[in-house]
Amino acid sequence: MTNERKILAKALGNALLGTGAHVETKTVFAALDWKIAGMRPDGAPHTVYQVLNHMLYWQEWVVKWLDGEKPPLPKHAAGSWPGDIAPASREEWGRAVKRFGRGVDQLTRRSRQADLFAKGRSKSPLEMLLTIASHNSYHAGQVVFLRQELGAWPPPSGGLTW
């Protein structure tokens, strides 16, 4: 692996994890009570649980795309906001959070294994990975804001609070 490729792989991995930019992406859901995850602060368009399901939708879509599948695009933006407003149980919330963490791990692995500059589709794997990294970063910020509004930030492990 060339030095440039190593630098790119590290930067891409950091972008996918949120490292160096903000609290790590997986951490935004840490230690959040499942009941709070389904609460919507006044004026907020979504709950934390809805944002998590939206992030899961696109993460899993990108993993399929990177694996050579052709996942269908939703006809409307609302199609990428699946699920209920709130989890039905602590277990449902826990499964969704674990699924999200596994998805981040899958994307990070693929960022190290893929030919990032492969041609043959409308986007390269690099472009797709950067897109999902930006998408997750954007929504991680929303989750932090929602948690702040709900009095549930930072998590016990700490967080960037300035």
- 93 domain residue, yes or no: yes
- 124 domain residue, yes or no: yes
Distance CA(72)–CA(5), nearest Å, equals 31
- 156 domain residue, yes or no: no
**Helices and strands (H and E) in the chain: how many:** 5, 0
Categorize the per-residue pLDDT at 161 as very low, low, confident or very high, splitting at 50, 70 and 90.
low
Residue 20 has pLDDT above 90, yes or no: no
3-class DSSP string for 81-94? CCCCCCCCCHHHHH
Distance CA(96)–CA(102), nearest Å, equals 10
3-class DSSP string for 72-136? CCCCCHHHHCCCCCCCCCHHHHHHHHHHHHHHHHHHHHHHHHCCCCCCCCCCCHHHHHHHHHHHH
CATH code assigned at 89: 1.20.120.450
Give the mean model confidence (pLDDT) for residues 70-98: 95
- 155 domain residue, yes or no: no
User: Phi, psi at residue 141, to the nearest 5°?
Assistant: -60, -40
Q: The whole model's pTM is what?
A: 0.92
Q: Which domain holds residue 33?
A: 3-149
User: Phi, psi at residue 65, to the nearest 5°?
Assistant: -60, -45
Give the mean model confidence (pLDDT) for residues 79-87: 95
- 57 domain residue, yes or no: yes
Distance CA(33)–CA(157), nearest Å, equals 14
- 161 domain residue, yes or no: no
- 73 domain residue, yes or no: yes
Total number of domains constituting the chain? 1
- 134 domain residue, yes or no: yes
Give the mean model confidence (pLDDT) for residues 54-82: 95
Q: Say which range, 49-53, 119-123, 127-131, has the weakest mean pLDDT.
A: 119-123
